[in-house]
Structure 1
């Protein structure tokens, strides 16, 4: 920005007067007029700029980590190298990766077989449990019915034997009554009946039939109870192997998760066969591995900073920041090449330290591979630009306690004019009031002018 000149109050020296007298009187000769610089006020475009120093940095940094366990075969670039999008930065040992792919796919198939075996085993257990449960229900009925039949038979046998015994007892009583007449046919008849009754008490056909049926039922009951014991054991075994719906869902979820994990692993391994490539144009700023090193999942491979998304970070003082706004155009030179850009960000806080500055970021319009990150550069910010502005040189503008003023050439004399100014830069100033378009303003680089002074414009 131009420095305004201060007008000094001076008195015309005696040397000038003496020169006039020596020329033949008190009247000043035309040659005594002060030679001055002149400029015709005219409309033009005036641009105001602020210059600040900054550093070139990337606005997009990516740290790339390994997503597989593998062996590094080759590192194709060094720190500081420029790379293009798609360039292979690091290559893995492909033979090692292919073995890992085969192992992962085999493990997945083995896991699937294990899951299927569990489900099938659960199905078999469910069948055994269901069979045992249904059979036990049937056996319980059969056991109860058979036991009831046995009880009925035992009661019938007991009643039959009691009836035969009672009949025999009555025969004995009758035989006693006829014992006084042993030769009678009645007594002889009674003895025959007593003998038959005695036989019947041991070998009654009905009793024998019921006893035979009882034996069959008792054997059947024992068979039922043995089968019941077996079914109880089978039910317990089946229950232990049952897979509930919740467990089945968990198994299916574990299977799906395992499949997804293995597929991701295989996908990452297959992708790694082609090496790790740059996602954008940029500069390698860090490498975290070495060749022939076996790295694990999550290991830092390299860091790349984009040269497509480049900003210049500058610190602006508290005076210049008043004129700076987001969106203003900028220009700078990096490695001898001009670049344009815009103010893209202004921090809303001052920095720490002795000098309170505000951080400002400039985004370049068309960065390229010639950009070197970290370089210092001077940025010129266009803070104002006016077309058709009435302008004069900054050298023609003066100031004192009364304000700003100029000298206008009028009838070969310097005429002081108070002016109101607008936009200023190092060379020119916009005149808002006090000078008309086409008027000539004057100044002298060595001598201060005064109102009414005789002058001669160059």
Structure 2
């Protein structure tokens, strides 16, 4: 938090009394001055700063990963060179076994298992063959039944489709006939009109051709007499040119009319051909063929179904379930015994190594001693995954959240941590302290150590400071300036020469200061300790020597 300016505030008093123009004697003035000095109070200017709310408690350092190691074999221990409390690295050999007796047992077991397997397999094979035949017949019958059902449905659908198609085709053909007749009639009407127009165009064309020939003859005659009649030649030329233009136009019109007639004739032909093709469709024939094929397939499926049912419902000749299970169990026991011995020998030859960096927290064996399969040998606790377990009282656990940062101190070392887990089950009894002993139900919290090292000791007490909340660059008051009354939280402020009571809203609270959310503004003057003064008393502010020094800095 930023430095606070400390001011001296004095309550004013009349130090001079004038009666009839005469000053009261000096001892009266001195008394007034002494009374004013006796009422002086300290004040501070409201400034911004940072507030960190922490929860301090004690806990126990524990490993976050613990593994109890059990013996994989029945054997003598040939090596177990470690003690409780030893620090071991991952991969360090810790235990080795003498496997001589186990290897002899394995050889005998293999011979016994082989003999049992041959007898068992012969009986089981014969039983399985009979059972498989019957099971296959049952499965095949079920599959065939499904196929028969599907094929029956297909036959019904084809028969219905064939009946429906015949009715639909009858209606469609009637509609098509009416449509084709209507379209043909319309096209034939257009054709007659086009043919008349073609005949008219042909006559115009023939007339234009005759006129052109006449104009050509006249032009040729005029050309021969051109020397005597130049004007006649020019007139003949103009008539010839016009006759050529008329002939070309008549020819183009005739050809267009002829093309129109041909197109109408083609349309009529295509329409009649399409109608004839539609009448010759063989869709109903295809459906009839599909129906006959489906009926044949259905008959064949029904025959196969009856054959498979006869096999499935007949006498299987297989072993009973109880007899087969007994033989299987005996054989499995023999196989397991042999396999277990082989696997145990392989495991025993590997010995036991440390799976991770850690500390030996328990040891149950010694070199030369006999161990049995599943017997507890030792316990290894990790020093890389380390936590501190703390109990939080009801006064603080609501402020603690997973993910909050913490500082952990023990064995002269300081580590950084993170709140990893908060238990949802309360524990009763005395434990640790959150600035006070916990005597009621408490909640267990796990603080993960983020930067463990080789100086970690498991099981020791640790001091934990959890950063429960933080506010930066906010209005701050020292805790002694914040008061709690029946109407809520308030502080004393100096305003317009008067000491006033001001309601405030607080936020993050530390040991020595409090965040002020609402109620006062930066730069206002707050009185931490009003002494015997009351709200409404008039005061004056006087700078203290301490404030002057701080301002100089």
1:314 to 390, 410, 432: 390
The structural deviation recorded for 1:297 is: 1.5
Aligned with 1:259: secondary structure?
helix
Aligned with 1:344: secondary structure?
strand
Measured in 1, the distance between the counterparts of 2:389 and 2:124 equals 67
The CA deviation string for residues 117-149 of structure 1, in whole angstroms up to 9 with x for no partner, is 6767999xxxxxxxxxxxxxxxxxxxxxxxxxx
Label 1:452 to 1:412 Cα distance change in 2 as closer, same or farther (>3 A).
closer
The CA deviation string for residues 192-224 of structure 1, in whole angstroms up to 9 with x for no partner, is xxxxxxxxxxxxxxxxxxxxxxxxxxxxxxxxx
The structural deviation recorded for 1:255 is: 3.9
Aligned with 1:363: secondary structure?
strand
Aligned runs of 1:266-285 on 2, under 5 Å? 266-285=342-361
1:357 to 431, 437, 441: 441
Aligned with 2:480: secondary structure?
helix
Label 1:365 to 1:350 Cα distance change in 2 as closer, same or farther (>3 A).
closer
The structural deviation recorded for 1:379 is: 1.9
Aligned with 1:303: secondary structure?
strand
What TM-score do you get using the length of structure 1 for normalisation? Answer: 0.58
Q: Does 1:335 align with 2:419?
A: no
Give the aligned partner of residue 78 of structure 1: 83
The CA deviation string for residues 82-137 of structure 1, in whole angstroms up to 9 with x for no partner, is 223322222223xxx155235414531442145336767999xxxxxxxxxxxxxx
Measured in 1, the distance between the counterparts of 2:337 and 2:447 equals 42
Aligned with 2:350: secondary structure?
coil
Give the aligned partner of residue 520 of structure 2: 435
Measured in 2, the distance between the counterparts of 1:437 and 1:256 equals 85
Give the aligned partner of residue 390 of structure 1: 475
The structural deviation recorded for 1:436 is: 0.3
The structural deviation recorded for 1:26 is: 7.2
Q: Does 1:263 align with 2:268?
A: no
The CA deviation string for residues 363-405 of structure 1, in whole angstroms up to 9 with x for no partner, is 3142444322221122222332234432121132234555543
Give the aligned partner of residue 53 of structure 1: 58
Give the aligned partner of residue 348 of structure 1: 425
Give the aligned partner of residue 540 of structure 2: 454
What TM-score do you get using the length of structure 2 for normalisation? Answer: 0.49
The structural deviation recorded for 1:74 is: 1.8
Which structure has greater helix proportion? Answer: 2
Cα contact 2:392–2:445 (8 A) shared by 1? no
In structure 2, stretches of 5+ residues that fail to align are: 1-10, 14-24, 126-317, 431-437, 548-553
Measured in 1, the distance between the counterparts of 2:77 and 2:332 equals 31
* Greater Cα shift, 330-339 or 27-36: 27-36
Give the aligned partner of residue 181 of structure 1: none
Label 1:375 to 1:25 Cα distance change in 2 as closer, same or farther (>3 A).
closer
Give the aligned partner of residue 286 of structure 1: 362
Label 1:63 to 1:25 Cα distance change in 2 as closer, same or farther (>3 A).
closer
Aligned with 1:62: secondary structure?
strand
Measured in 2, the distance between the counterparts of 1:352 and 1:394 equals 31
Label 1:52 to 1:309 Cα distance change in 2 as closer, same or farther (>3 A).
same
Give the aligned partner of residue 463 of structure 2: 378
Cα contact 2:12–2:539 (8 A) shared by 1? no
Aligned with 1:44: secondary structure?
strand
Give the aligned partner of residue 104 of structure 1: 106
Cα contact 1:66–1:301 (8 A) shared by 2? yes
Label 1:361 to 1:252 Cα distance change in 2 as closer, same or farther (>3 A).
same
Aligned with 1:297: secondary structure?
coil
Give the aligned partner of residue 237 of structure 2: none
Cα contact 1:347–1:358 (8 A) shared by 2? no
Give the aligned partner of residue 210 of structure 2: none
Label 1:114 to 1:29 Cα distance change in 2 as closer, same or farther (>3 A).
closer
The structural deviation recorded for 1:327 is: 4.0
Cα contact 2:479–2:512 (8 A) shared by 1? yes
Give the aligned partner of residue 96 of structure 2: 91
Aligned with 2:515: secondary structure?
strand
Measured in 2, the distance between the counterparts of 1:72 and 1:261 equals 22
Label 1:119 to 1:403 Cα distance change in 2 as closer, same or farther (>3 A).
closer
Q: CA RMSD in A?
A: 4.1
1:425 to 510, 533, 537: 510
The structural deviation recorded for 1:306 is: 3.0
Cα contact 1:282–1:307 (8 A) shared by 2? yes
Aligned with 1:267: secondary structure?
helix
Label 1:278 to 1:47 Cα distance change in 2 as closer, same or farther (>3 A).
same
Q: Does 1:40 align with 2:117?
A: no
